[in-house]
Structure formats: C-alpha cells, structure tokens
Copies of this chain bind each other. A is one copy, B any other.
Amino acid sequence: VQIGEVARRLDLSINTLRHWHEMGLAVPSYRSPGGFRLYTEVDVARLAFIKRFRPLGFGIDEIRDVLTTRDALAVAQASSSPTGALIARLEEYIAVATERHAAMRADLADAEAFIAELQFQLEGTSNT
C-alpha cells in the first residue's frame, strides 16, 4: 500500500512517514519499480505502534531502540538464546514510559484547571 493511503489510515503526514523512513525508524518493505514506497500490513502495524509511543515524549532514536529490542527478544526466544538483558532493557523503557505517563496526567489535570479558570474569568464579565 502506498504512502498516501498509509498516511490517511494512521492520520500521520506523508512527511512524517518519509522522515521516519530516512531515520531508519520505519522502513517500507518494498519499492515499486518507479520508486514509490510500498508498505505491508506489518509495516503499518509497526507505524501504529510508533504512533502510540510518540506522545510519551520519546525521541526517534529511543523508539527505534525499543522496537529493535522487542524484535531481538522475539528472535532470542525463538532460538532459545539468553533474553535477560533484553528483558531488563524493555522493563527500563516501560518504567520510563510509566513516569512520562504520570507526567502527562499531571499536565492534563493542570490544563483542565486552567481551562476552568479562564472560563470563570469570562463568566465574571459584563458585556457592553
């Protein structure tokens, strides 16, 4: 599927998808003979994953590392290789993500209070 449709489905800009490609964060599996980026459904799932990770304030390099770690873990499990280090790393990311999540909740509450405050100021207002 072409970049435009992916962008529409995931509500991301085409430029964002191209940027993620350049950064090696989400590389489309194929190219058409004419050079068009072609994404598989697996690629799209990866993009959806990234899209949900983003609001937590992670940088592109970090997200790529999370995905790489997760994939390496799957491979290690399949080949019965040691997974301890990989798991520890993912747990680290989960801990950080949980922290950021808490910070987001705080910001959200602040914003809510803020909006209420602004509205209150308006209500105490007499029009001319």
A residues sitting closer than 8 Å to B (CB atoms) are 49, 52-53, 55-56, 70, 73, 77, 80-84, 87, 90-91, 93-94, 97-98, 100-101, 104-105, 107-108, 110-115, 118-119, 121-122, 125-128
The contact sample of 29 A-B pairs, CB cut-off 8 A, is A52-B110, A53-B111, A55-B108, A55-B111, A56-B111, A56-B114, A73-B125, A77-B125, A80-B128, A81-B128, A82-B128, A83-B128, A84-B127, A84-B128, A87-B122, A87-B127, A90-B118, A91-B122, A93-B118, A94-B118, A94-B119, A97-B114, A97-B115, A100-B111, A101-B108, A101-B112, A101-B115, A104-B107, A104-B108
